[in-house]
Amino acid sequence: MKILGIETSCDETAVCLLEAQGDVSTAQFKVLGNALYSQIAIHKEYGGVFPALAKREHAKNLVPLLGQALKEADVLLPIQSERTNDSEKNSEKSPNKSTEFLQTLAAKKSQLQTLLEREIGLFEDFWQFINTYDRPAIDMISVTMGPGLEPALWVGVNFSKALAIAWNMPVYPVNHLEGHVLSPLIEAHQLQKIAFPALSLIISGGHTELVVIKDWLDYQVIGQTKDDAVGEAFDKVARMLDLPYPGGPEISKLAEQFNEQKRREIKEKYNVVFPRPMIDSKDFDFSFSGLKTSVLYFIKKIKDANPDLATNLSPELKSVIAEEFQNAVTDVLVYKTEKAFDEFGVKNLILGGGVTANTHIRTAFEKMILQSPHIHLIIPPTIISTDNAVMIAVAGYFNFLLGRHSRTDFKAVGNLSL
């Protein structure tokens, strides 16, 4: 079946068409079309995501991206006028499919207009598009309903409902975190190895959660952050080091900029050591706000004590701060995750979320799992680590396979949990 995936929870507007077949243990996927617009350049100026701007950009870009994804998938066909399709005589007697489609569409116009009225310009683009192309051969729509920025989520939610009405197809609301958890299973060799209970560590800009997956779509959150999410901490520390948003990839690059010898010298000279918050706590919760504050105080202390560094830290020192911060985060993540293995009889470990794009963190988990050879580690390819629509379509397919119902009455939920 063909699934249209739509994602607008944060600063990525994404639409994809995914072909999926097989049951839960044999599912196979093929991405037929994939279009993504990252708003990073726009939000950079604000040093983070600005919700009203994200909403506006989603509204502006959804229709062009839909066109792009469907075109790539080769399912976008202009509506044929009757004259070119049938002979004039025939057309009067029996309207062709396109004519019928346009007629039913016209009857739904005010309903669709009401649905999209809150997103500036979206109805106009949508109406033009939907009246230009035939209903594509798609079986269902899957859209992120949360968690995320509510104004941004609503754009995707309303857009997918409008498409579902216009094209008369089911829509499955999906949890964004479930998308992060299930998307690595797009690779068949990973799906074949899945066994429950599995453990998932979700590390993204908005979330840090350890989740036991007892069975398909059956989750138990065993730990989460008490304050900042990991990605958020990366972004904030990056700002302290004058790096642009999003800070994660920048910190990662900076941390490796100088050779090891040089980094060690600087680390010793300035005694760059940060805490590993909550590493010894009995629970599985995390906290990254204190670590972030330690970095802030450290920078202030260094600047006060070294007049030559007062306006600008040296690139070498910045690199060592980035490295030590990254190490501190990694140590906590790895240690707490490993601690859950025995307690929950874990058979698989699935990493998910944008921060899994971090090479140091990936390597640390690969090393750690060598100590637990009975556990299979699944890390998403970096290309689907950060937000995208494919992960939403994959999650939608599993929801469909497991008998969840399509719905039309759902809302965007900013703080949706697993």
> Would you tell me which residues interact with ligand KG4 (CB under 6 A)?
10, 204-206, 231, 234-235, 246-249, 252, 353-355, 357-358, 386-387
Q: Which residue has the tokens 């726009």?
A: 42
The alpha carbon of 85 is separated from its chain's Cα centroid by a whole number of angstroms, namely 43
Tell me which of Zn ion, ligand KG4, none is bound by residue 252, counting a contact when its beta carbon lies within the kind-specific cut-off of 5 to 8 angstroms. ligand KG4
Got the DSSP string for 174-242?
EEHHHHHHHGGGGSHHHHHH--SSEEEEEESSS-EEEEEEEETTEEEEEEEBSS--HHHHHHHHHHHTT
Tell me which of ligand KG4, Zn ion, none is bound by residue 234, counting a contact when its beta carbon lies within the kind-specific cut-off of 5 to 8 angstroms. ligand KG4
Which of 118, 172, 173 shows the shortest CA–CA distance to 146? 173
Could you give the dihedral angle defined by the CA atoms of residues 329, 334, 339 and 340, in that order, rounded to the nearest 10 degrees? Answer: 100
Q: Given the complex with ligand KG4, which of 137 and 383 has the nearer CB atom?
A: 383
CB of 388 to Zn ion, least distance (A): 9
Tell me which of Zn ion, ligand KG4, none is bound by residue 160, counting a contact when its beta carbon lies within the kind-specific cut-off of 5 to 8 angstroms. none
CB of 36 to ligand KG4, least distance (A): 11
Give the per-residue contact string, 94-123, with Zn ion (x = CB under 5 A; - = no). ------------------------------
Rg (CA), the chain: 24
Can you tell me the distance from the alpha carbon of 83 to that of 114, in angstroms, rounded to the nearest whole number? Answer: 33
Question: Which of 68-76, 162-170, 221-229, 384-392 is the region at the interface with Zn ion (rule: CB under 5 A)?
Answer: 384-392
CB of 322 to ligand KG4, least distance (A): 10
Q: Given the complex with ligand KG4, which of 163 and 391 has the nearer CB atom?
A: 391
The tokens describing 371, both together, are 């100590």
CB of 71 to ligand KG4, least distance (A): 25
| Binding residue count for Zn ion, defined by CB under 5 A | 2
Asked if residue 315 has a cis previous peptide bond (ω within 30° of 0), the answer is: no
Q: Residue ranges of the alpha helices (H) in 73-216?
A: 82-85, 88-93, 97-116, 122-130, 150-167, 176-182, 188-193
CB of 107 to ligand KG4, least distance (A): 38
CB of 76 to ligand KG4, least distance (A): 28
CB of 257 to ligand KG4, least distance (A): 14
Tell me which of ligand KG4, Zn ion, none is bound by residue 146, counting a contact when its beta carbon lies within the kind-specific cut-off of 5 to 8 angstroms. none
Examine residue 387 and tell whether it contacts Zn ion (CB under 5 A). Answer: yes
The tokens describing 93, both together, are 């007697």
- CA 1 to each of CA 31, 92, 272, 400: distance values in angstroms, whole numbers, following the listed order: 12, 35, 54, 11
Question: Which of 255-263, 270-278, 331-339, 380-388 is the region at the interface with Zn ion (rule: CB under 5 A)?
Answer: 380-388
Q: Given the complex with Zn ion, which of 337 and 388 has the nearer CB atom?
A: 388
| Burial group, residue 227, by CB count within 10 angstroms (0-12, 13-18, 19+) | middle
Q: Which residue has the tokens 């580690």?
A: 377
**Binder among 68, 144, 158, 204 for Zn ion (CB under 5 A):** 204
Q: Which stretches of the chain bind Zn ion, using CB under 5 A?
A: 204, 387
